[in-house]
Structure 1
Amino acid sequence: MPRPVYIVDGARTPFIKARGKPGPFTPVDLAVQCGRPLLLRQPFPVKAIDLVILGCVNVIADEMNPARVAGLRLGLSDETPAFTVQINCGSGMQSLDTAFRYIERGTADIVMAGGAEALSHSPLVLQRGAVDWFAELNRARSPGERLKVFSKLKLNHLKPYVGLERGLTDPITELNMGQTAEILAHLFGISRREADAYAAESHNRLDHATREGWLKGEMLPMVARDGQVFDHDDGVRPGSTVKSLSKLKPAFERPYGKVTPGNASQITDGASWLILASEEAVSQHGLTPLARIVDSDWGGLDPSIMGLGPVTSVAPILRRQEMAVADVDLWELNEAFATQVLSCVAALDQPDIADGVLGLDGRGGRIERDKLNVDGGAIACGHPVGTSGNRITLHLANTLKRLGKKRGIATQCIGGGLGGAMLLEAA
């Protein structure tokens, strides 16, 4: 029989905006800054941790398998296995799903599962012509051959591009993620005003949650090597309004596009960890669970409408658990783009999609705004891609407890035409 799996604790770093240069923390730095104080407050020794799993998309050359590097820097035993997972934006949730399966089947009792991403450290990549030129130069043996190769050098060989630019472009459709959000806005009739209104609400909700102290314990401060302290999400814009956001120009489809820098997620650095435990570990170490992981699933669809990934991954869970959209008390739906979130809400509320495509048989319906991202989301705090799935699950567990709610779903779209979802139940 599958064993119950509990979330017993978790924390994240503040999310800090990438500002056109490498930030003060690498992915492993972020994971360690978040993980060390989290481990210090646990009643069990680090040797009780059976496994470390970390989601990370942009792994840097100096930190191959960042899960292992982070585990060792956190003081875990040399004998504790650690591996890194990558499924684009879903990597931080994939780490949880994998940990969930290990504990459920009885091969682990306590697992650290997280996500870490430093998008500001995305590499500069040479143009293909430059790579070929360097390869030819490397093959040249005599001074004359080298001089001949040097004569072929072109100025554009000296101009690299940021790897993130290609990483955010789907290789099958050749559409960047913002363009896929524009497609959804067109298909579901999402207006620019609706997108800006949603974005303003996200900023103001997160600002309110921060000022109320609802993120204390969940968000732990970081200290850079130069002594600078980071203690809040620095992309939040308090007081955002539809009027202020309306001044921004479309980012991808000018002049009539709906997606702007103001209603899309921000490029940020950040990390998050959750500690998952079996029922036996909870009893042995006197742990107090935040929530129980009930179910999880993944879905796929056409990459050109990848933003609908949440509905394809949520549907199997609702069918298995014999639940309707209205039965879910809280939703954390990662805000890649405002138009994408609103399109998911619309899709679940349209019977031809909910029943005809997703097979929900009347279990669809509208996600009410007072249940959806109640403390804001990635439009306000940012979207460090390998981290976000972990963060939204952590925040969902904490919010269920704070509000006294029973069941919640964390879900997200994933570049490449995928989606991931996880159903939690308050412990």
Structure 2
Amino acid sequence: MSESIVIVGAARTPMGGFQGDFSSLAAHDLGGAAIQAAVERAGIAPATVGEVLFGNCLMAGQGQAPARQAAYKGGLPDSAGAVTLSKMCGSAMKAAMMAHDMLLAGTHEVMVAGGMESMTNAPYLMLKGRGGYRMGHDRIFDHMMLDGLEDAYQPGRSMGTFGEDCAAKYKFTREQQDAFAIASVQRAKAATESGGFKDEIAPVTVKGRNGDTVISIDEGPGKVKLDKIPTLKPAFKKDGGTITAASSSSINDGAAALVMMTESHAKKIGAKPIARLVGHATHAQQPEWFSTAPVGAVDKLFRKTGWTVKDVDLWEVNEAFAVVPMALMHELKVSHDIVNVHGGACALGHPIGASGARIMVTLIHALKSRGQSLAVQLRLNC
């Protein structure tokens, strides 16, 4: 029988709002909190971790090797290696995929995978600063926009405009997207109020002038006024636009981590698996159609695993924009009832380098709470 890769610990920080709860913390502070919690929940000795693979897209200004800094802050020893990965929205998921393959190859016995982001602390860039400005006016660039939220192949074009192209292709109306966004917020609020997120969230202590504040819930869902969503103006296309701030992911700070090992090693050391990573697949196509790439990834994954759409109990599809899961639901005939059951990025937010692990942590706990077993997680990349 072939070896399986299991997850024995999973944790995420709350998702902080832009310039919100975590504005005083760097990405590696949040990453360290997630790593420490995941390792503690796994019940393993920190010294057994061979390497950390951590996603982080907006690295400027953090200092060398952000993943290494996060590993230290997470209580891991000098012996644990660390690699920082940047694959845009898919960074943290790719970290888990690579850890899966490295564990199967015997590179390490125990690994930590995940991601982190502080979009709040992304600096502004002076592209001519080194060579000199000499005279006159010039521009500074927002690291978050330039390296995170704008297309690299059509410089200056917002990713939301490609979401509008997707909406046009499938004829998704403004009302349909608003309804999806409202459902996302309602589900996230329900999960928060019922304690559905309690087991996955690792509270983070933020120091301040008036003492410490413990942040234990996501910042975004409670601030949304559902009755205002239909009144919002289009965010990316002034005339005839259908995507608004509500049907887009918000700008956030956060981190998530997974402790992974082979199933045989878990049995050897007495670690209890909470999930099994059965397979993974990568699908690439034209960058401007990132919104439909998850459909191609599902086809490849199912050819590997032998699954069908009907076999899947739950789906997690990143809500970079509501049209992304809506397109997948349309193409694969999947009911919204089993997609993003605890809400998604339209409600919780999308810290770019962390989201791939965040939705994995949420998905694992959603399966457990519902007594279900098979799930598919999907992320898109630009």
Amino acid aligned to 1:268: N
* 1:328 and 2:295 are equivalent in the alignment: no
User: In 2, are the aligned partners of 1:90 and 1:413 still within 8 Å (CA)?
Assistant: yes
SS at match of 2:379: strand
Match of 2:371 in 1: 404
1:172 is matched by which residue type in structure 2?
Answer: Y
Instruction: Check whether the contact 1:173–1:303 (CA below 8 A) recurs between aligned residues.
Output: no
Match of 1:192 among 165, 171, 174: 174
1:280 maps onto 2:260 in alignment: no
Q: Report the CA distance between 1:61 and its aligned residue.
A: 2.9
Question: For residue 359 of structure 1, what is the aligned residue in structure 2?
Answer: none
In structure 2, distance between residues paired with 1:180 and 1:83: 31
The yes-or-no answer on 1:114 pairing with 2:114 is yes
In the alignment, structure 1 segments of 5+ residues that lack a partner are 138-148, 349-365, 416-427
Alignment check: 8 A CA contact 2:9 2:41 kept: no
The 3 A distance-change label for structure 1 pair 38 and 322 is closer
Counterpart for residue 55 of structure 1:
55
2:217 equivalent in structure 1: 232
**Partner letter of residue 380 of structure 2?**
C
Q: How does 1:151-230 map to 2 (within 5 A)?
A: 152=135, 154=136, 156-157=137-138, 160-167=140-147, 168-174=149-155, 175-226=157-208, 227-230=212-215
2:98 maps to amino acid: T
Given that residues 21 and 121 in structure 1 are in contact (C-alpha distance below 8 angstroms), is that contact kept between their aligned partners in structure 2? no
**Partner residue in 2 for 1:124:** 124
Q: Does 1:376 align with 2:312?
A: no
Structure 1 CA distance for aligned equivalents of residues 298 and 115 of structure 2: 21
Structure 1 stretch displaced more, 222-231 or 253-262: 222-231
2:232 pairs with 1:248? yes
Cα distance, 1:43–1:165 mapped onto 2, change above 3 Å: closer
**Counterpart of 1:120 in structure 2: which amino acid?**
T
Supply the AA of the counterpart residue of 1:234: E
Structure 1 274/372 Cα, relative in aligned 2: closer, same or farther at 3 Å?
A: same
Counterparts of 1:370 and 1:90, CA distance in 2:
24
CA contact (8 A) 1:266 1:382 kept: yes
What is the letter of the counterpart of residue 192 of structure 2?
A: T
> How big is each residue's C-alpha offset from its partner over 1:309-330, in whole Å with a ceiling of 9 and x where there is no partner?
2112111011222222122110
- How far does residue 278 in structure 1 lie from its aligned partner after superposition? 1.2
**SS in structure 1 of the partner of residue 116 of structure 2:** strand
Secondary structure of the corresponding residue to residue 299 of structure 1? coil
CA distance in 2, matches of 1:282, 1:186: 48
| Aligned partners of 1:204 and 1:237 also within 8 Å | no
- The 1:392–1:21 alpha-carbon spacing in structure 2 relative to 1, beyond 3 Å, is closer
Cα displacement (A) at 1:66: 1.3
Whole-Å separation in 1 of the counterparts to 2:186 and 2:68 = 38
Mean CA deviation greater in 403-412 or 171-180: 171-180
Asked if the contact 1:181–1:259 (Cα under 8 Å) also holds between the matched residues in 2, the reply is yes
TM-score norm. by structure 2 comes to 0.93
Matches within 5 A, 1:246-395: 246-348=230-332, 366-395=333-362
CA distance in 1, matches of 2:234, 2:268: 55
Percentage of identical aligned residues: 29
Larger CA deviation: 159-168 vs 218-227: 159-168
Give me the CA root mean square deviation: 1.9
Contact kept? 2:10, 2:42, Cα under 8 Å: no
Return 5+ residue gaps in structure 2 as ranges.
none
1:228 is displaced (CA, Å) by 2.5
Q: Distance in 1 between matches of 2:42 and 2:379?
A: 29
Q: Are the aligned partners of 1:204 and 1:239 in contact in 2 as well (CA < 8 Å)?
A: no
Tell me, yes or no, if the aligned pair for 2:16 and 2:22 is still in contact at 8 Å.
no
Structure 1 position 275, deviation (Å) = 0.6
What is the rounded CA distance, in whole Å, between the counterparts of 1:369 and 1:41 in structure 2?
Answer: 31
User: Is the 8 Å Cα contact of residues 57 and 91 (structure 2) preserved in structure 1?
Assistant: yes
Q: What are the Cα deviations for residues 166-207 of structure 1, in whole angstroms up to 9, with x where unaligned?
A: 222212234321001000000000000000000000000010
